Amino acid sequence: MLEPIKLNSDEVYIKATIGAATYPSDGKNARALIYCAEIALINSNEHIEVTYYDDEMQSSSERNLKLEAELHHAIENNELEQCYQPIVDLKSKKIVGIEALLRWKKNGCYIPPAQFIPMVEEIGLMPAFHLWSINSIEAALTQWSAITHPFHVSINISPKLFFSTNFSNKLIELSATHANKVRIAIEVTEGCLIEDMKRGVEILTMLNKKGIQTTIDDFGTGLSSFSYLKNLPATTIKIDKSFIDELASNKKSHAIVHSIIQLAKNIGMTVVAEGVESQTQLDILTQLDCDSIQGFILYQPMLGDEFYQVYLENTDAKA
């Protein structure tokens, strides 16, 4: 468990990640060992404190370098696709929103967002990718004439972009243009906010005043304390898929999901369960009075045209 350090009135968490190499199997001199330890560090993740080098990392690092180089041309080569996954109200069974999810199709194969999004962030391309997404969403909303309230479009914002100065201008413009039929919401994770809670609250409050809502994504997986919920102008909590996966099989997960739903309701927030795959999970969430769900049991992420057809059928709206 990480112990916070007090800095004036703020609590700061410090984490260390270590890449390690073993003598003599990974290298017979300091230079070779440091090189392997650096590769291990690149391949480490935030949940593991010490990552040891293995030969597979070398080839995966080379693969990643190649992908990073290719990402620079993804937009000009028309390799990005904007997908949308419906969010459904559990009582009315109506689609009440969508999450915008990016896809990168390289040589006919989809590279998973969990792999390429951190790279986009790392190599500084996120502002360009974000702009591409906003422009696609803008074009789609202009076409989807039958969409009406209540309907929101949720857009994921990665941590570096969130704290950069002008990511919000385009969002505010998008929100203002389509305010008559949709709300724009941004999805941020607890991990993103914990970097600088004070500024995070300032940014979200400013956006809130412009009509942009906030969803806390992957709720329950960060290290933050509950007290931050008090200060955030957030409207929605998204329960992380890891809790939903174990909803039927693990009593503790069931209790946690139950408590999150109660907590959200008690503080006036809406709650969405993410990653719902089975009828049993759906039944339990209905029983627990969860507001809405997003998951493969109802809909997978899909391209805009397909989504609009699904929306028209689900809501009996006329195009």
Q: Which is nearer to ligand C2E, 101 or 184 (CB)?
A: 101
Stretch that binds ligand C2E, among 14-22, 63-71, 90-98, 108-116 (CB under 6 A): 108-116
Q: Which is nearer to Mg ion, 43 or 215 (CB)?
A: 215
Stretch that binds ligand C2E, among 65-73, 107-115, 190-198, 199-207 (CB under 6 A): 107-115
The 3-state DSSP class for residue 150 equals coil
Tell me the Ramachandran region of residue 275: left when phi exceeds 0, alpha when psi lies from -120 to 50, beta otherwise: left
Residue with tokens 């969860």: 290
* Binding to ligand C2E in span 46-85, by CB under 6 A: 85
Residue 11 touching ligand C2E (CB under 6 A): no
Q: Taking the complex as a whole, how short is the minimal distance between the CB of residue 57 and ligand C2E, in angstroms?
A: 23
Residue 26 touching Mg ion (CB under 5 A): no
Positive or negative CA dihedral for 88, 209, 211, 192?
negative
**Torsion angle (degrees, nearest 10) of CA 161, 163, 165, 169:** 60
Biggest alpha carbon distance in the chain?
Answer: 71
Stretch that binds ligand C2E, among 14-22, 23-31, 35-43, 110-118 (CB under 6 A): 110-118
Q: Which of 221, 155, 210 is nearest to 188 (CA)?
A: 155
* Binding to ligand C2E in span 179-238, by CB under 6 A: 187, 217-218
Stretch that binds ligand C2E, among 59-67, 219-227, 259-267, 291-299 (CB under 6 A): 291-299
* 8 Å CB contact between 276 and 255: no
Q: Could you tell me the CA-to-CA distances from 303 to 49, 85, 94, 101, 255 in Å, in that order?
A: 39, 9, 19, 10, 36
Among 90, 102, 182, 216, binds ligand C2E (CB under 6 A): 102
Q: Which of 60, 82, 97, 73 is nearest to 310 (CA)?
A: 97
Task: Give the one entry of ligand C2E, Mg ion, none that residue 26 binds, where binding means its C-beta sits below a cut-off of 5 to 8 angstroms depending on kind.
Answer: none
Site of interaction with Mg ion (CB under 5 A) = 156, 187, 217-218, 274
List residues near ligand C2E by CB under 6 A: 85, 100-102, 112-114, 117, 133, 156-158, 187, 217-218, 274-277, 294-296, 301
